[in-house]
Amino acid sequence: MSTQLWLTFILASLPVHFSPGPNNILALSRAIRMGYWTGHLGSIGRYPAYLLIFLAAGLGLGAVLNTSPLLFTLIKWCGAFYLAYMGYRLIRSALEISSPTRAVESGKILGLMRREFIVAIMNPKAVIFATAFYAQFVTPGQPGFAVLFASMVVVSLTLEWIAAGCYCLFGASLGRAANGKGILSWVTRGLGAVLIGFSVLLAAT
């Protein structure tokens, strides 16, 4: 792939990875309450999910979902219910927030990673989108497809890591600014409502 096409791929990927989607909102809310490092460590859970999604796209499983309405609907509703549940948990946790919590046990971080994984993997539209997106730059069967596709996946995961870091950095800064000012719980409620909104959108489309 030419340098120009690589630049096009990276520029086209930026809105995908940096948009305020469910995983980035989840990382933001976590960093607000628990600090940058906990937020960023928790976001690690999304990368195995995205890797599976990208591999599924490369294998053409997006087409399978397109032709299997029952499977698509099942995964979609599971994802919508889980997003609504995460939003509800955030809103409830806001009642107990007075200031950001920095000390988090390792077991808690594993739980945060698990939630990130579930939120990422329970979105069948991501597989279909990834299939359509990668098809603009690489075609199965072309010479060097495996190496080129693997390189694109590495770039995508790197951009996702940078995006998660930016959201966590912003969240941690917001958490420090809101500390002791009585607005942290309201910010958390708002982010919980956003996740519930995402669940409604996922279920309705």
Distances (CA, A) of 181 to 51, 100, 122, 187: 40, 11, 36, 11
Q: What is the pLDDT of residues 125-155, one digit of tens each?
A: 677 777 778 878 877 777 888 888 889 899 9
**Number of CB atoms found within 10 A of residue 12's CB:** 12
CB distance 141 to 72 below 8 Å: no
Q: How confident is the model at residue 102 (pLDDT cuts 50, 70, 90)?
A: low
Higher pLDDT, 62 or 25: 25
pLDDT cut 90: percent of the chain above it: 17
Write out the two tokens for 65.
Answer: 């979902």
DSSP 24-66: HHHHHHHHHHH-HHHHHHHGGGHHHHHHHHHHHHHTTHHHHHH
Q: What is the pLDDT of residues 76-91, one digit of tens each?
A: 787 788 778 777 877 7
CB distance 18 to 155 below 8 Å: no
Q: How confident is the model at residue 56 (pLDDT cuts 50, 70, 90)?
A: confident
pLDDT score at 154:
92
What is the rounded average pLDDT for all residues in the chain?
80
Higher pLDDT, 96 or 196: 196
Radius of gyration of the chain (CA): 18
pLDDT score at 113:
92
- CA 136/CA 8 separation, integer angstroms: 10
Burial 152-188 (b: 16+ CB within 10 A, else e): bbeebbebbbebbbebbebbbebbeebeeeeebbebb
Query: pTM for this structure?
Result: 0.78
Q: How confident is the model at residue 124 (pLDDT cuts 50, 70, 90)?
A: low
CB distance 26 to 97 below 8 Å: no
Higher pLDDT, 87 or 44: 44
Residue indicated by tokens 């594993």:
110
pLDDT score at 75:
73
Task: Find the distance separating the first CA and the last CA of the chain, reported in whole Å.
Answer: 34
Residues 37-42, mean pLDDT to the nearest whole number: 91
- CA 170/CA 174 separation, integer angstroms: 6
